[in-house]
Amino acid sequence: MSDTLPTSNRQVRLLHRPEGLVRPEDFEIVEADVPPLAEGEALLRTVYLGMDATVRTWLNQGEGYLPAVEIGEVVRCSGVGQIVATNCDAYEIGDIAISLNGWQEHTVVRDDLYTTKMPPGTELLPMMSVFGSTGAAAYFGLLDIGQPKEGETVVVSAAAGATGSLVGQIAKIKGCRVVGIAGSDEKCAWVVDELGFDACINHRTDDLKASLKQHCPDRVDVYFDNVGGDILDAVLGGLNMHGRVVLCGAISVYNDKGRKGGPANYLNLIARRGRMEGFITLDFWDRFPECTTQLAAWAAEGKLHWRNHVVDGLERAPEALNMLFTGENIGKVIVQVAPERPPT
Ligand SMILES: NC(=O)c1ccc[n+]([C@@H]2O[C@H](COP(=O)([O-])OP(=O)(O)OC[C@H]3O[C@@H](n4cnc5c(N)ncnc54)[C@H](OP(=O)(O)O)[C@@H]3O)[C@@H](O)[C@H]2O)c1
């Protein structure tokens, strides 16, 4: 136990269910008390929050793979920080852990599936951008669900985003031809010139169908879908025999109300004997060390690069969440909640 427990905990709570992009008035910022720790609990001080588009889906009414955030609850979100007080044998003060911290300064954690202790000396920022759930989505989604083989063509959307930029690089490491789809020339230039993608299509200015034909002359063997909607439909139209479509996310429709439309080209899965399969990173959490070790090895070999788009201040979390939908980000959107070292 620490004898200098923080007494107050700034939180961002959901006030209204948003429509479309979130607005500041959909949330309230409150100073809550830090609760006393029960047996088996520890207090995690949040340093960084990783902005995930999934957070936006949790703000809607209705059941997803986790329940909706209720009105009045702290917004659920992954993060990384340090243990500052403990009543749990699994944690010591100073331990680094990733968890579902939520949009708040401190989180009560337990030794369970939602909190993972990291080795001493772990750098915090890359835990959000590459070694945490983002890296796991790219790694397991591409390799386990997409199963790319050397020489195959892999297409990835939101290619300059956190997940997509890692997917394309892993596919290159596996010897594939990689074509990205991104929302600006700057993003396309980054993934081709710096990350080594073979080509990138600007979905705002290029003719998607014609560009896919041009850059995927042997059709598409694996499509890693981060966006859904019209882009999913266009790539389904270019699928190769036995092509695999990895459904990682559908950010283009998360803000839509009601029933989402389906892709018109899904019949191509029959003609091309294709497979379309969704996944959730949590499904692979028991293999998290495998993923972290492999990504770290590739990074050490200079084969894996990433960018952080850091937004300063917990109160800017709603603004940071919107960046994923407006496409302002290159790489991982991260909110810095506190300095890396606790004040002494
Ligand atoms: N299944 C899982 O377990 C899992 C885990 C993590 C993430 N995800 C999903 O993976 C996807 C990427 O997440 P991320 O955190 O890595 O975000 P990100 O790619 O860093 O950011 C989102 C990007 O999506 C693109 N985008 C937004 N609206 C779009 C639209 N209408 N049409 C086309 N592109 C659009 C934007 O890029 P452009 O400028 O290029 O359009 C934006 O930068 C999300 O769908 C997320 O929900 C799933």
Q: What is the pLDDT of residues 282-310, one digit of tens each?
A: 899 899 889 999 999 999 999 999 999 99
Question: Which atom of ligand 1 lies at the shortest distance from residue 57's CA?
Answer: 47
Q: Which residues of 249-284 are buried (b: 16+ CB within 10 A; e: fewer)?
A: bbbbebbeeeeeeebeeeebbeebebebeebbbeeb
Residue whose structure tokens are 């952080």: 308
Closest CA to 334 of 135, 69, 78, 68: 78
pLDDT confidence of residue 257: 75
pLDDT averaged over every residue in the chain: 94
pLDDT in tens, 8-35: 999 999 999 999 999 999 999 999 999 8
- Measured CA to CA, the distance from residue 137 to residue 141 in angstroms comes to 5
Whether 54 is in the pocket of ligand 1, judged by its Cβ within 6 Å, is yes
Task: State the Rg of the chain over Cα.
Answer: 20
Is the pLDDT reported for residue 344 higher than 60?
Answer: no
Tell me which residue has its CA closest to atom 41 in ligand 1.
183
Is the pLDDT reported for residue 258 higher than 90?
Answer: no
Closest CA to 129 of 23, 222, 52: 52
pLDDT confidence of residue 234: 97
Residue whose structure tokens are 């969704």: 278
The model's pTM: 0.95
What distance in angstroms lies between residue 324's CA and the mean position of ligand 1's atoms? Answer: 6
Q: Residue 255: which pLDDT band, with cuts at 50, 70 and 90? A: confident
pLDDT confidence of residue 342: 61
DSSP letter at 262 equals P
pLDDT confidence of residue 70: 96
What are the structure tokens assigned to 160, written together? 């300059």
Query: Using CB atoms within 10 A of its CB, is residue 202 exposed (0-12), middle (13-18) or buried (19+)?
Result: middle
Q: Residue 140: which pLDDT band, with cuts at 50, 70 and 90? A: very high
Tell me which residue has its CA closest to atom 36 in ligand 1.
327
Is the pLDDT reported for residue 277 higher than 90?
Answer: yes
Average pLDDT over residues 142-155: 98
As beta bridge partners, residue 311 has: 335
Question: Which atom of ligand 1 lies at the shortest distance from residue 248's CA?
Answer: 1
What distance in angstroms lies between residue 342's CA and the mean position of ligand 1's atoms? Answer: 32
Closest CA to 129 of 295, 8, 298, 302: 295
Is the pLDDT reported for residue 64 higher than 90?
Answer: no
- Measured CA to CA, the distance from residue 225 to residue 250 in angstroms comes to 7
Question: Which atom of ligand 1 lies at the shortest distance from residue 252's CA?
Answer: 31
Alpha helices, DSSP H only, in 59-151? 124-126, 133-140
pLDDT in tens, 72-91: 999 999 999 999 999 999 99
pLDDT confidence of residue 168: 98
> Best mutation site among 140, 142, 324 for ligand 1, i.e. most ligand atoms within 8 A of its Cβ?
324
Query: Could you tell me if 212 and 238 are in contact, meaning their C-beta atoms sit under 8 angstroms apart?
Result: yes
Q: Residue 227: which pLDDT band, with cuts at 50, 70 and 90? A: very high
First to last CA, the chain: 17
Whether 249 is in the pocket of ligand 1, judged by its Cβ within 6 Å, is yes
pLDDT confidence of residue 49: 98
- Measured CA to CA, the distance from residue 282 to residue 211 in angstroms comes to 34
pLDDT confidence of residue 261: 79
Average pLDDT over residues 270-293: 94
Tell me which residue has its CA closest to atom 9 in ligand 1.
249
Q: Residue 4: which pLDDT band, with cuts at 50, 70 and 90? A: low
Whether 252 is in the pocket of ligand 1, judged by its Cβ within 6 Å, is yes
Amino acid present at 184 = S
Pick left, alpha or beta for residue 208 (phi over 0 → left; psi -120 to 50 → alpha; otherwise beta). Answer: alpha
pLDDT confidence of residue 2: 54
Amino acid present at 318 = P
